[in-house]
Structure 1
Amino acid sequence: MTVRHSGGGQPERTLALLWRNSKADSEQVRRSAGRRPSLDVDGLVRAGIQLADERGLEAASMGGVAKALGVGTMTLYTYVPSKEELLDLMVDEVLAERQLPGPGEPRPADWREQVEVYSEQTRAMFQSHPWLARVSTVRPPVGPGMLAGREYLLSTLLPINLSPRDTNTAALAITTYVDSAASLEAESQLVERATGQSDETWWHERNDLWETYFDVERHPAMTALWNANGYQDTVREAAAESYRYGLDRLLDGIQAQAEAL
């Protein structure tokens, strides 16, 4: 499976498209894009997302989206200049689907519960759109969806009185942990869909490793944990428990730092 990279389009064109619905004067963006009544950027992006959801990211090419919309491929370039801009628009649209409270909107009182909202919404997003696991956002689409996530986490952490630098660092640490774990979950879903084989079945087929090849003398720590019943029963249980453990310990560390100030 090929990994795509966001952030590869021309900056001015990409920003104008990402923020096309954010200002009253967005008519200028629509005119510059040559908009027709029968087709618009929003519909094009939705079609791309639907194709990626149903058939994988490769299906959401400019040609694939054009076919789904019943227009010629060259028509799409009137609205979105290239596949790079299309990818950014798709990713940011999906990021914006997360139901994260904005400024002044009701949210849980406890900051850790607010982080849980980010965690749950982000994991649900990846589960609904597993193709996101095939997109590297090292250079992210800097649109409304991406910034909404950043604003939410920063507003969650500001009241606990970390230093400004530590507030930003803590928010980045949470984003890195949650997004990476959610991406791995989605990647597992993609692999199972592509192979028709669950992770449990894959490991079961390799049980001979333990009976034939595993050397207890070379792996004393693993052996000790096994003998002490330290492993979870299933791969899925292990993944869920390790995610919960990691997030709790990360938030414990942030809380300890805040309380020490």
Structure 2
Amino acid sequence: MEEFSPRILPLLWRRSVPARRAVGRPPRLSVDIVVTTAIRLADTEGLEAASMARVAAELSVATMSLYTYVPSRPELVDLMVDEVLWARGLTSDGTFRERVLLYAERTFAMYRAHPWLAEVPRARPPVGPGMLAEQEYVLAAVATLGLPVRELNRAAAGITTWVTSAARHEAESALLRRTTGLSSDEWWQQRGELWENWFDVGSHPTMTMIWNAGAFDRGADQQAQDAYEYGLGLLLAGIERSVEGDDRVP
């Protein structure tokens, strides 16, 4: 059973408490320095590189001394995730669509800068200021439409789920390209024999129709981006339409 450690909350919310005046020589390290170093390692070499031992080596300290600041590797990863979530700086006074598009733009930028995020499960995120800032921002954007309060959360969750899943997909492609040396298109090209020797036109008439129309001609990554933009447009239009008269989302 996964156990909750109460140690993580004071670390996640460390900036919400006024700093105590240090007595004597100030410490050489801080939680911020440890987290920043771990993020830098993960950005350049992958999440596995951001181990307690490697971070300690980067900071030229003994590994055990690092535990004074961050008690464990899982808690370090939580701190890393919430730090990059918070760094998006989600603030806007625009329209519903302007706010959502800003959220989407900065979320994609975050995953591009930190592709290791795709290796971290998001089903149980760190409950820190970064995660709550995201929730508040998207909920506030949806609230500008005048939806009933009970519908706000599911509309916001629909947006965050769609945007995050697409950004994670792009980051996963980037990680695979880094580890295999192959782009998504090159990976598919290696499997070109499938279409020549194994693909049965009669069993896949719809795919064949689309293929003949040239709709599969765009690269795999571009197709994913097209699908994301198409789906987001429909999602936002559906949310906006649900506030018109009695046309409610079931």
- Of the structure 1 ranges 194-203 and 8-17, higher mean CA displacement relative to structure 2 is found in 8-17
Which of 81, 85, 96 does residue 75 from structure 2 map onto?
A: 85
Structure-1 residue corresponding to 2:137: 152
Deviation of the 1:231 alpha carbon: 2.4
Structure-1 residue corresponding to 2:61: 71
- 1:83-232 maps to which residues of 2 (within 5 A)? 83-101=73-91, 106-108=92-94, 110-232=95-217
Which of 56, 73, 79 does residue 46 from structure 2 map onto?
A: 56
3-state secondary structure, aligned to 1:217 = helix
2:15 is aligned with 1:21? yes
Task: Quote the Cα distance in structure 2 between the aligned partners of 1:166 and 1:252.
Answer: 15
Structure-2 residue corresponding to 1:44: 34
Q: Note the alpha carbon deviations across 1:178-205, whole angstroms, 9 max, x for none.
A: 1111011000000000011111111111
Does the 8 Å CA contact 1:9/1:82 hold for their aligned counterparts? no
Query: After the TM superposition, which segments of 4 or more aligned residues of structure 1 sit over 3 Å from their partners?
Result: 8-11
- Measured on the aligned residues, the alpha-carbon RMSD in Å equals 1.8
Task: Quote the Cα distance in structure 1 between the aligned partners of 2:5 and 2:122.
Answer: 15
Task: Quote the Cα distance in structure 1 between the aligned partners of 2:212 and 2:122.
Answer: 41
Structure-1 residue corresponding to 2:231: 246
Q: Note the alpha carbon deviations across 1:89-148, whole angstroms, 9 max, x for none.
A: 0000010111310xxxx532x211210000000011000000000000211101111111
Task: Quote the Cα distance in structure 1 between the aligned partners of 2:35 and 2:48.
Answer: 15
Q: Structure 1: any 5+ residue segments left out of the alignment? A: 1-7
Count of matched residue positions in the alignment of Structure 1 and Structure 2: 244
**TM-score, scaled to structure 1:** 0.89
Q: Which one-letter code corresponds to 2:216 in the other structure? A: Y
Deviation of the 1:226 alpha carbon: 1.5
Deviation of the 1:240 alpha carbon: 1.2
Which of 218, 221, 242 does residue 257 from structure 1 map onto?
A: 242
Deviation of the 1:252 alpha carbon: 1.2
Task: Quote the Cα distance in structure 2 between the aligned partners of 1:57 and 1:36.
Answer: 30
% identity of equivalent residues: 50
Which structure has more relative contact order (CA 8 Å, sep 6+)? It is 1
Structure-2 residue corresponding to 1:3: none
Deviation of the 1:10 alpha carbon: 4.2
**TM-score, scaled to structure 2:** 0.93
Does the 8 Å CA contact 2:170/2:221 hold for their aligned counterparts? no
3-state secondary structure, aligned to 2:172 = helix
Task: Quote the Cα distance in structure 2 between the aligned partners of 1:46 and 1:9.
Answer: 26
Task: Quote the Cα distance in structure 2 between the aligned partners of 1:78 and 1:257.
Answer: 51
Task: Quote the Cα distance in structure 2 between the aligned partners of 1:165 and 1:232.
Answer: 43
Task: Quote the Cα distance in structure 2 between the aligned partners of 1:10 and 1:229.
Answer: 52
